[in-house]
Structure 1
Amino acid sequence: MKDRQYVADRHFRDQAYGGPQRAKKAARCYRDDMAKEHGIDFIVASEGALALLRRGAGWTQRQLAQALHVSSAQVAKWERGEVPTVVLALAGAILSRQVVSHSVEISGDDIRRIRTQILEWTQQQLAAELDRAYAAVGHWERGGRRAPGWVLVYLQAVNDGWNREHSTESSSA
């Protein structure tokens, strides 16, 4: 499409091209030819802070996703757009080996204990830190809903002694 108008519409069926790889290659060549003919420039995604951090450590999106207990698609989404500050700090700590990500089995009671005894925060403070709705924390603590994987990794790291404020100060010094 160019200026919201179709400049080309063509199907590349696997059978007609001798398999999916050849069909995909033909489609890409056709796309590139049409782009050149109609003066279309492809926009390259900007390098977000998370992408730069991850690539600097030599990790793939999949490896980071496994460490954060999220999907590769979620990591890609964060890299293309806004990544919550706490996720960026947690990813940095994992990539710099300040935090070791392992199997995370945290119950609602554990979430409440970490929040009240270690962090000494209210549900509202934890929700604000995690960029989540206040009601979500209550659901997690009551066992009504499972917290996202990265939240559990964060809480486990805090439980194990990781302090986000301390780790960001020491890494910026």
Structure 2
Amino acid sequence: MKVYLSGPISGSPDASIVDWRRQALELLPSGIEVFDPALARYDATLAHAQPETVAAAFERLRHGMLVVDRNKHLIQSSDMVLANLLAADHASIGAIGELFWANAFRVPIVIVRERDGNVHDHAMLNAIASVVTHSLEDGCAAAVNMLQTETRLGRRKVSATARGRAGTSHRP
């Protein structure tokens, strides 16, 4: 089973990018393969906040194209996306895009965010989530439970219809 880790990168300090991912690796059983895009080179700068040369803009575009292609294919081959949006102080365009790819590929989504006051508490994200939890521990437990359910049912991925009957909730 494969879990893709999604969460804010641009504008985030390195510690907040990698710390929760390390914790998720400890919380998820060893038999689960984890796809972590932060293990590859990433760009956490807010490009819109600074002037850049044409060469720098081209390099940022090239890097973005590579990241989009890589992450889209990793999500498509995943059995689950675990999105940690806790403590986000701005909307993560990358994480939101990854969640919509997962939805388009019919990959179940676990969103972790605060119960109240999180910028990602949005009707559209709540609607595509298989489940919304409020701690990383609960999010990892929900992901494991859903993966085990899929294995018992003999399915690689749960369809949108089956999600609603599997005891998960679209509501926070």
Between Structure 1 and Structure 2, whose CA radius of gyration is higher? 1
| TM-score (normalised: structure 1) | 0.23
Higher strand share: 2
Higher helix share: 1
Q: Which has the higher contact order (CA 8 A, sep 6+)?
A: 2
